Structure 1
Amino acid sequence: MAFSDNTRGALLMSLAMAGFTFNDALTKTLTDDLNVGQIMFVRGVMMTILVFALARRLGGFAPIRTVMQPMVLARVALECAATILFLSALGLLPLSSVSAVLQSMPLVVTVGAALFLREPVGWHRWTAIIIGFGGMLLIIRPGPEGFQPASVLLLICVCCTAGRDLVTKRIGPTVPSVMVTLLTAIAAIVIGAALIVPLGGWRPLTASAVGVLAIAAVLLVVAHQAIVMAMRTAEVSFVAPFRYTSLIWAVAIGIVFFGETINIPTAFGAVIVICSGLYTFYRENKRKNARPISQSSRPGSPL
């Protein structure tokens, strides 16, 4: 059965979200015992070995000059910044709350696509984006009672991750996806190693911790490869809403394994964010379907 580029992109994005969410859950179990730098370093070493083996098997190696492009380097920098921020927040917030905030990603990506990729966004979608950000405020509750400082780290992480996805769209087709993932893993080793001492030094690794990090590394390799392929295969506005599948996994894992409960403001905020994102997706599809007609009658008509 042949799939369109957008359908393949949607499937790859869904796979990536499952991989990322299970990795998050596994990593969260280690945040009390290992610092962010050590987690990045050990997991990065494991990822590098896995990706290197994958690249050799698939013949995905490319000359270093091909990979060392501004867009690739920018993606790696944004990915590493997002990882540091995310791991710092993950140890302080419930998994379900973290995932709920991350559901704003499609909205941020849409804003970024409009500002930096010049994708047209009409007033309907801008309205949905504003409402969606209102829902995100319900989730983080920036007041004296509900707000947690770690939420700021998570919000900056969302911006970095959205930037990463937009930059990925600009990477040339001559750069193999597996090389992008390999460079990201190597960068995690370097940055993680640099953070170990400032964040408290090396702590002994138990066999169980090594096993958890190994599984997390495999999941990350799959997720990174899938998301790179998704963003390069399909339209950003089409695949972005499929990030919402991560919330299903996060809520289930949080309840079953971490004993978390979903409070009403968080649930309501998540629903608003998701509905806003889905509406922007609907408007984008409607715009594309009506484009030939609008171009012939009212060029440049806003949505």
Structure 2
Amino acid sequence: MTRSDNLTGAILMMASMASFTINDTFMKALAGEVPLFQVLFLRGIFTTVAVAGIAWWMGALFARVSRRDAGSILLRMVGEIGSAYFFLTALFNMPIANMTAILQALPLTITLAAALVFGDPIGWRRMSAILIGFVGVMLIVRPGAEDFTVYSIYALVAVGFVTLRDLATRRLSKETPTMLVTVITSTSIMIFFGLASLTIDWAPMDARAYGLTFGAAVMIIGGYLFSIMVMRVGEISFIAPFRYTGLIWALLLGWLVFDEWPGPVTLLGAAIVVGSGMFMLYREAQLGRQTRFSHGPRPR
């Protein structure tokens, strides 16, 4: 029996979310052992070499970029670098499931930002879903609670940078190859954190640390490639909800690897955020719209 495009898309989406979450797990396993700037630079070397090779093979490495797209790519680089720093700093200091749950608010923040920046229409139903989703985020972050830390703020700042990145991505023309943008972004991360690593004392790394760093690079590349393949098959309204399987992976890996399990209030907040996001996707399907950035890659 031939597998349907929707089923293929769902499998690719789940594979993408699994890859990104495994990357997060590998990176978090290095917390306290290898400085963040050092591991981001080393992972950036592996990632850049690989994506440059793929872009060259696809004939996208030397494509021309318009001046308008160059500006969008620059904004995207800022968003990617900022999200990488704030996301991973938060991840190193808070449970992986909590961090992943906060990220599930991205479809809500991107929809709201697109309405404010690009004038995309947004009705009262979707606006209500966004507001309810933000209530769920506050339940996860819980300002004023005993376990509230500055890293919860870092997580929210990371969401802001990812939103900037995806809005900049939306402004790119179809003539600019996706893989070329990926190479430029990956190179910028490698260079930025390479320079930043000169300001710290490098830590010695054993075979385990190098293995985790290389594994994280492989997972990042796999997650990004899967997310590109997702965009080419099936219906977005069917496939996009499977992006929330990343939260399931985060719960399982957080429990198995780090012995972490969120409290009831955090789980309630996560359920509210996911429910709001699912409603947003339902409304997009009802209105016949396709959100171009509804399942883009996670922070690097």
Corresponding position of 1:48? 48
Query: What CA deviation, in whole Å up to 9, does each residue of 1:182-206 have, x standing for no partner?
Result: 11111111111122143x3211121
Kindly report which structure 2 residues correspond to 1:206-245, keeping only aligned pairs within 5 A, or say none. Answer: 206-227=206-227, 241-245=241-245
Q: SS in structure 2 opposite 1:31?
A: coil
* 1:69-148 aligned within 5 A: 69-148=70-149
CA separation in 1, counterparts of 2:92 and 2:48? 24
Structure 1 residues 210 and 173: alpha-carbon distance in aligned structure 2, compared to 1, 3 A threshold: same
Return the letter of the residue paired with 1:29: A
- Which residue of 1 is the match for residue 16 of structure 2? 16
Q: Deviations over 1:50-69 (max 9, x none)?
A: 11222233333223645961
Distance 1:175 1:9 in 2: 24
Mark the runs of 5 or more structure 1 residues left unpaired by the alignment: 290-303
Quote the Cα distance in structure 2 between the aligned partners of 1:148 and 1:233: 41
- Alpha-carbon spacing, 1:8–1:66, altered in 2? closer, same or farther (3 Å): farther
Quick one: distance in 2 between partners of 1:3 and 1:22? 27
Give the TM-score normalised by structure 1: 0.85
For the residue of structure 1 that corresponds to 2:132, the secondary structure is helix
Q: Does 1:283 align with 2:283?
A: yes
Contact 1:20 1:220 in 2 (8 A): yes
SS of the equivalent of 1:288 reads: coil
Q: How has the CA–CA distance of structure 1 residues 243 and 101 changed in structure 2, closer, same or farther, with 3 Å as cutoff?
A: same
Size of the aligned set, in residue pairs, is 287
Tell me, yes or no, if the aligned pair for 1:135 and 1:272 is still in contact at 8 Å.
yes
> Which whole-Å CA distance do the structure 1 matches of 2:116 and 2:236 have between them?
13
SS of the residue corresponding to residue 93 of structure 2 reads coil
Residues 187-230 of structure 1: CA distance to partner in whole angstroms, max 9, x if unpaired?
A: 111111122143x3211121111111111111111223444565
3-state SS of the aligned residue for 1:69? helix
Q: Distance in 2 between matches of 1:117 and 1:231?
A: 22
In the superposition, the TM-score normalised over structure 2's length comes to: 0.86
Q: Which has the larger radius of gyration?
A: 1
Gaps of 5+ in 2: 290-300
Deviation for aligned residue 1:155: 0.2
Counterpart of 1:177? Answer: 178
Q: What is the one-letter code of the residue matched to 2:219?
A: L
Distance 1:79 1:7 in 2: 30
Describe the shift of the 1:279–1:63 C-alpha distance in structure 2 as closer, same or farther (beyond 3 A): closer
What is the letter of the counterpart of residue 247 of structure 2?
L
1:33 aligns with 2:16: no
Contact 2:102/2:140 (<8 A) preserved:
yes
For the residues of structure 2 that align with 1:234 and 1:115, how far apart are their CA atoms? 29
